[in-house]
Homo-oligomer: A and B are copies of this chain.
Amino acid sequence: MLKVSVIGTGNVAKHLYNAFLNVETVEIVQVVGRNKKALSSFGIEEKTTSDFSEIKDAADIYLIAVSDSAIPAVSQKLESKSGLVAHTSGASSIEMLSKHKAYGVFYPLQTFSKDQEIDFRKVPVCIEGSTKSNMTKLKRLGSEISESVHKVDSEQRQALHLSAVFVNNFTNHLFYIGNKICEENQLPFDLLQPLIEETVQKLKNTTPFDAQTGPARRGDQETLNSHIEQLGNLQDKEIYNLLSQSIQSTYGKKL
């Protein structure tokens, strides 16, 4: 049995908690966070505290699932603990926790939302440990909740996080712009759902390099001009131009 305490009450903390709850080999010792309302949503009053001086010593692993900027302060509150202390951040180095005897990183590579259920078994968990035995401990914890556990060092993890911004945050923003264009033309965005799904499906059989289609890839200047003209918003025009140029330079074509 692995005894785990979760520090934090946001989306990552909540989804991790739910994943641990689903397996019998992990025992939740405590959920700790300043936000009392969020704490109460865990529905385990006796195991929560908003007072960091009440953090119990009993945990094998303390998982810090708070915003990056709050990690140092939480780390300080855990200095007396003998358990392994790990943060769950993609962007922060393992060295942020180097004051602890045993430390590491436990980074679930997924976008977590409040009301969206996630099959945690499919979530890649990227782990890093300050020693081999800490690595082994985190790997064990990861394997309890996910089929996809990976040893990833800090530099690689930061690259993954950067890549995730491109494929998730920026992609979602393109969906937002696509949605806006539909709304402006009294079209349901649903019409584009099969196309969006196919865009992702293709990745299973081909690389994004080979999958590229469209006017920029073809060098169809007439369509490019007409699209720029159609866009009402200056920033959207800039995005259209920059991404089209980037596609064309990827395939060795000049605008």
Contacts and interface: CB of A to CB of B under 8 A. Distances in A.
A105 B209 CA distance: 31
Contact of A174 (B167, B179, B194, B214): B167
A182 interface: yes
A36 interface: no
Interface residues of A, number: 95
Given A155-B185, A202-B116, A172 B208 contact: yes
A246 B174 CA distance: 10
Given A203-B196, A235-B245, A113 B215 contact: no
A118 B184 contact: no
Counted per complex, copies of this chain come to 2
B226 A235 contact: no
Interface in A123-170: 123-124, 126, 148, 150, 152, 155-156, 158-170
Interface in A23-52: none
Contact of A91 (B122, B175, B223, B239): B223
Contact of A238 (B156, B167, B169, B242): B242
Interface string A218-237: 10101100110011000110
A223 B158 CA distance: 10
A67 B111 CA distance: 39
Interface of A: 67-69, 91, 109-111, 113, 115-116, 118, 122-124, 126, 148, 150, 152, 155-156, 158-179, 181-182, 184-187, 189, 191-209, 211-218, 220, 222-223, 226-227, 230-231, 235-236, 238-240, 242-243, 245-247, 249-250
The 8 A-B pairs with the shortest beta carbon distances in the complex, nearest first, are A169-B214, A176-B208, A159-B185, A175-B208, A163-B178, A167-B178, A163-B181, A166-B178
Given A124-B194, A163-B177, 19 more contacts: A91-B226, A109-B192, A110-B194, A115-B205, A116-B201, A116-B202, A156-B187, A158-B230, A162-B231, A163-B192, A165-B214, A168-B214, A169-B214, A171-B171, A171-B196, A172-B208, A175-B203, A178-B208, A239-B242
